[in-house]
Each structure stands twice: as structure tokens, then as C-alpha cells.
Amino acid sequence: MSHTGRKWAATIPGLLLFAILALYLRNADLASPPRLLPRCSFHVLTGWHCPGCGNTRATHALLHGDLIGALRQNAILVIGLPFLLFWAFRSWMQWVYPQRIRALPFRWRQSYTYTIVAVVVLFGVLRNIPLAPFTYLAPRALPVKEIPESEVP
Amino acid sequence: MEWYYAKNGQQQGPVSEGSLQELFQNGTIQGGDLVWNESLTDWVPLSSIPGFGNSSEPAYTPPVSGIPAAPASVAGGVVVSSAIPSGQPSPPTYLWQSIVCVLLCCWPLAIPAIVFGTKIKPAMEAGDYGSALEASNKAKMWCLISFIVGFILQAVIFGIAFVSGFAEAAQSAQ
């Protein structure tokens, strides 16, 4: 098999896996515990919201076409997702068709990476402030049945 | 199979196997010149590739002799030379793996992976292949740590949720 063929053959199972995970998440019931979905270990351990908290709920909302609901869960994911997908596609193109890729009209600088990291960290700090404008950055709790404290081993 | 070859310390290619044969036959590259493709872990002399072995070639030349050594840089009074052709392809940055780990695994542990990943390109541009390779290996290590720790934490959280879920179900059944 050719080089390109082999890379395509590796891509298809990856895409299938993504599709299965998306379908699973779309049909998941977020409100009934125990949820068979990953939870943020940072939130479980500290009680604070990390910059990624609400990503699962935001993706769930997006998969149901609810853009506002997704923004309310994790704004930075929803805003960043188109860029992330574009970058993923470009990286894949570079891998499979390295001679066909054209250079972007700008050069990526180290400072851009630092800016993104700074924005994400700032977002993580701001969404933990329990005051009016910042509370919109925090993920909204879904009506999950609470497990009594005494029964947590 | 796409080949890269080193000529005067510069990486050339990719070229097809046929073109490589042609370059070999017209003398553009010789048995002692270094070549590389994706299936090789490191650059090797062309003469070691089947089909390019030539008995009339002079005795096997050590890999680096065909290429001017990478420029030696002086750091803190110590002469550092990577002794690897500057045409060496950049080691992997593990960037997409790091980003997947930040999004899906234990993100605090994936941050070092991204930090080390960003050090590779500047190191390569400075001709310091050794540092680039070291940063690449560290990026890989942190990706793995993030993945494993993230996996264990999720397993523990699931475990607790299930045990308490069963306990609750048992209690409400009474």
C-alpha cells in the first residue's frame, strides 16, 4: 500500500472512534447518576472550576445544536473549537499530503502560544469568582441527584 | 518510499527511491552520504541500504565524516556539539498528543508536555539537535504521565460513583 493509503487507513478508525464517542455523548443522559462520563478530577479534588470544566456538557449541548447552552457551559471551548478543528485538519493535511499544503499567510510565533495559555489561565481564574458578570463563565450545574455525604466511601 | 538525503550538511528531499537511485548513479550522492526515510530511526550511510551497496566504493566511512559537523556552540564555557548533521529532521513535538491530553486527560500534567514541545523548534533553529531531542523526549514523557494519571483518576472517580450508586439503590430498595 502506498504511503498516503496507509495514512488514510490509520485516519478512518480514528474518525470512527470519534463518531462513536460523539454518538455516545449525544445520547447520554447527563442528569441521572452515575453518569458513565469522565469527570474533571481537578474539580472533584479541589471544588474549583478548571478552564476545561463544562467541556463535556458544552459538547453535549453542541451535539444537540444548542449553541447558547454550550457557551454557558464553557465559552472558551465553543469559541476555540473552530480554530482547534482547523488546526487539526491542517496538521492532518500536512501529515498525509505534505507537498500539497500551502503556507499560512502568517508565521506562528511563540508569543501567540503564550497568549493563548495566558487567556486560558485567566478564564480559569475569572470563572471561579462568585460575582455577577463572572458567574456566566462558570459551568452551570445540571440537576444531578446528590449522593448523601455519608454514603461516599 | 520517500527519501531524504544530506548534502553539504543540508537536508534535501523528499525524493522517490527511483530518484535516489538516479542521484547515486550520476554521482550526486555517494555511498558515504547520509540518507533517511520514515522507517529509519536515524540517518544511515547510503551504502548500507540494499541496492546501493557498491563494492567499488572506498571502505565504509563513518556516518558523520561525509557531512560537516553541526556548528559547535559554546555554552557556559563548555563546547557543545551535537555531532549530527544540521539537515536532521526535527524530532516530534508531540503537539497534538499534548493537546489531546490537555483536553481529555489530566491537564495540569500535560502543560509541561506543551512547554517542552514549544522548545523543539527554537532549538532546531539554533542547530542544537541534542536539546531538541531531549525536549521531544520530555514532551513524550509528560504526555504519557498525563494520560496514565488521568486514566487512573477517572477510574477512581467512576469506582466511587458506582459504589455509592449501588449503595443508594440498595438503601432505597429496603
What per-residue confidence (pLDDT) applies to B81? 44
pLDDT, one tens digit for every residue, chain A (153 residues) = 578 888 899 999 999 999 999 999 999 888 776 677 888 888 888 999 999 899 999 999 999 999 999 999 999 999 999 999 998 898 888 888 877 777 777 777 878 888 998 999 999 999 999 988 898 899 987 765 555 555 555
Q: Work out whether the CA dihedral B97, A85, A98, A16 comes out positive or negative.
A: positive
Instruction: Report ipTM (2 d.p.).
Output: 0.71
pLDDT over 60 at B82, yes or no: no
How many whole angstroms separate alpha carbon B35 and alpha carbon B92? 18
Mean pLDDT of chain B: 75
Indicate the residue of A41, A91, A98 with minimum beta-carbon distance to B106.
A41
CB contact under 8 A, A34 and B154: no
Entry pTM: 0.64
- Predicted confidence at residue B122, as pLDDT, reads 85
pLDDT tens by residue, B29-73 = 877 778 888 777 677 778 777 777 544 444 444 444 444 444 444
Which residues of A fall within a CB distance of 8 Å from B165?
33-34, 147
Angle between helices B107-125 and B95-104 (to 10 degrees): 160
Closest-CA distance, B93 to chain A, in angstroms, reads 12
pLDDT for the residue B165: 74
Q: Quick check: B122 contacting A, CB < 8 Å?
A: yes
pLDDT tens digits for range B94-136: 888 888 888 887 788 888 898 898 888 888 888 888 899 999 9
What's the rounded Cα separation, in Å, for the pair A131 and A134? 6
Beta pairing, strands B44-45 & B73-75: unpaired
With beta carbons under 8 A apart, name residues in chain B contacting A151: 164, 167-168, 171
